[in-house]
Chain A
Amino acid sequence: MRFLYLLTTIDRRIIYGLVFLATTLPFLFKKSPSVQITPEVEKVYRFIDKLPPGSRIVLSADYGPSSMPEIQPMLYGICKHAFSRGHKVYLLTHWNYQGLIAGQDGIMSAVRDFNEEIKKGKHPERTDTLLEGTDYVSWGFRPGGMAVMLLLNSDIRMAFSRDVRGQLLDSLPAMQGFRNLRDLGTVENPRGILIGLEAGFTGDVWVIYGQAQGRYPMALGSTAVVTPSYYTYLEAGQIIGILGGLKGAAEYEQLAGFKGQASIGMLSQSIVHILVVVLIFLGNLGFFLARRK
């Protein structure tokens, strides 16, 4: 009984050490376990997969360095999938400038890896490598939140007249025939999709101000903190799917057929979750033993 009681009064630094070990040691096994695919992630994957080639995937990178471990793998996975299906990718940021750099880094690494795969012949339908301005465009960063979203519904060039390199959007092949977000079509007749990669509550703003007026297909990829609040939009049909946290990113990677950073991290995630639940059990054990006295 004394041993049981000692288990319930562990010093916080020992707990920190246990959490650190539970996170670090699984990496050394270099295993990427399979994850169970949830319907909300599969819907996003199937939607992008079924879009006609040349469709438009607009990514709103509304996150920062503190959310990169969860969201960056989503962005990478979506870009790789989109490029493999011949879709065009457009990046914008309006929440925080850090999303612009993180988003650009993610797209550039997907472009680099995809171009390597083209050179190795893994995509026989493509002979030329991906080009900025033709296959992907980065619109840049504009503060203004809902104002930017509403402007994009009427005319993209009113919010972003040039891309992040300073080139006029009208001069870019990828922007021909793309006037506003309504050109993404509707859920019944899609010609693209907007995916908000969210760390805060900008996802709510996108749905309420952007999608509600524009009626274009939309999905959300978010940190696990804000994911629960997006299920209301999923059930109401305002978004077609959610990629929630590192698990959502790992599911997307599994569907897309590669093991990236998210899949590698899932073993650590499992072990440390089990540790936290066991710690909660030990804490309650102490609580019940103390009440017995």
Chain B
Amino acid sequence: MNIWELIGIWFAALLTFAVFSFLYRDNPVYKWAEHLFVGVSAALGVYAALEQSIVPSVREALAFPGVFKFITWIAVFLGALILFKLEALATYLPNLTFLSRYPIAFVTGMGVGLTLVNVVNGYLFPQTQATFLPLFNIQGADWLTLLNNWIIVLGVVFALMYFFFSAQYKGKLGAVLQVGITFLMVAFGAMFGYTVMARLSLLIGRIYFLLHDWLHII
């Protein structure tokens, strides 16, 4: 390990404890570390946008032959129009801010058009088809599979009904909605369990860094 890696690990450990100090209470050390992080990560984002996206796009625009080069340059020009939304430019050229709406409109139109087709093709059809499950023992399925099929079909239908029928929990509809809530509560409990697992895993990762990379105890 070279000296810069060693300095880096100690600085990282210092920043880790600066953030952990927030658990006691909000303090200047934590705020300082937070602002340093925001500044550095913003600048890293600038380079990511530049070196990984804008520069390759311009380089490709130069490399494409004939009409394709022209087409790519139009895209680069459209993209550059978004920069009129930058605060620095908007302050000095407020009358040109409207130009940034065109590339945003293009991207929005793309998103909308792709959503309309792909959500139906990629989600609604396959998921609805997967819900059409055999509920009676026609194909020789065992009792557990049949029970699971019933639970899946009823669960999907009742959960959907709960969201679509904003009615009071009275009478027969109320009973159906209560069943929907039951399924939802089981789902939310499972999601909560997994969320706890995820958050604790993040802490485990930091403790591993402190004990393994910093202190070399494990």
The A contact surface, by secondary structure, is helix
Chain A contact residues, CB within 8 Å of chain B: 13, 16, 19-20, 23-24, 27-28, 30, 66-70, 97-98, 100, 140-143, 146-147, 150, 161-162, 207-209, 211-213, 223-225, 227-228, 232, 235-238, 244-247, 261, 264-265, 268-269, 272-273, 276
- B contact residues around A162 at 8 Å (CB): 56, 59
- Give bound CA distance, A209 to B211, whole Å: 42
Q: Is the CB of B208 within 8 A of A146?
A: no
A228 touches B205 (CB 8 A): no
A213–B44 alpha-carbon span in the complex (Å)? 34
Residues in chain B near residue A273, CB distance under 8 A:
196-197, 200
Distance, CA A70 to CA B194, complexed state (A): 12
Nearest first, the 9 A-B pairs at minimum CB distance are: A69-B205, A212-B122, A97-B48, A208-B122, A236-B130, A224-B198, A246-B201, A141-B52, A224-B197
Known: A207-B122, A224-B195, A238-B126. A141 touches B48 (CB 8 A): yes
Task: List residues of chain B with CB under 8 Å of any chain A CB.
Answer: 23-24, 44-45, 48-49, 52-53, 56, 59-60, 63, 110-111, 114, 118-119, 121-123, 126-127, 129-130, 152, 187, 190-191, 194-198, 200-208, 211, 217-218
Shortest distance in angstroms between A145's beta carbon and chain B's nearest beta carbon? 9
CA distance A129 to B52 in the complex (A): 28
Q: Which residue of chain B has the shortest Cβ distance to A145 in the bound complex?
A: B111
Q: Is there contact, CB below 8 Å, between A161 and B60?
A: yes
A-B contact count (CB 8 A): 135
Contacts of A13 on B, CB cut-off 8 Å? Answer: 23-24
* 5 new A-B contacts at CB < 8 Å, known A161-B63, A269-B204, A272-B200: A69-B204, A97-B49, A209-B118, A236-B127, A268-B207
State how many angstroms separate the Cβ of B212 from the closest Cβ of chain A: 8
CB neighbours of B206 from chain A (8 A): 69
Question: Inside 8 A of B202's CB, which chain A residues have their CB?
Answer: 66-67, 69-70
Q: Is the CB of A261 within 8 A of B208?
A: yes
The answer to whether A228 touches B187 (Cβ under 8 A) is: yes
B109 CB, nearest partner CB in chain A, Å: 12
Q: Closest residue of chain B to A265, judged by CB? A: B204
Q: Which residues of A contact B200 (CB under 8 A)?
A: 23, 269, 272-273, 276
**Contact between A28 and B218, CB atoms less than 8 A apart:** yes
A209 touches B208 (CB 8 A): no
Known A27-B218, A146-B114, A224-B195: A68·B211 in contact at CB below 8 Å: no
| Complex contact A97–B45 (CB within 8 A) | yes
27 A-B residue pairs with Cβ-Cβ distance under 8 Å, sorted by A, are A16-B23, A24-B207, A27-B207, A27-B211, A70-B201, A141-B53, A143-B49, A146-B111, A146-B114, A161-B56, A161-B60, A207-B122, A207-B123, A225-B195, A227-B194, A228-B194, A232-B127, A232-B130, A235-B130, A235-B152, A236-B127, A236-B129, A261-B205, A269-B204, A273-B196, A273-B197, A276-B200
Cα distance, A208 to B114, chains bound together (Å)? 10
Q: Are the CB atoms of B194 and A244 closer together than 8 Å?
A: yes
Closest residue on chain A to residue B123 by CB atoms: A208
Q: Which chain B residues border A276 with CB–CB below 8 Å?
A: 196, 200
Which chain A residue shows the least CB distance to B129? A236
For B48, what are the chain A residues with a Cβ–Cβ distance below 8 Å?
Answer: 97, 100, 141
A208 and B124 CA atoms in complex are apart in Å by: 9
- Give the interface centre of B48, B127, B198 by most chain A CB atoms within 10 Å: B198
Q: How far is the CB of B23 from chain A (nearest CB, A)?
A: 5
Q: How far is the CA of A70 from the CA of B205 in the complex (A)?
A: 8
Interchain CB contact (< 8 A) of A245 among B187, B190, B197, B217: B197
Query: How many Å from the CB of B124 to the closest CB on chain A?
Result: 10
- The CA of A147 and the CA of B218, in the complex, are separated in Å by 44
Residues of B within 8 A of A245 (CB): 194, 197-198, 201
Residue of A nearest to B119 (CB): A208
Residues of A within 8 A of B190 (CB): 228
Cβ distance B218 to chain A, nearest Cβ, rounded Å: 5
Note all chain B residues with C-beta closer than 8 A to A225: 194-195, 198
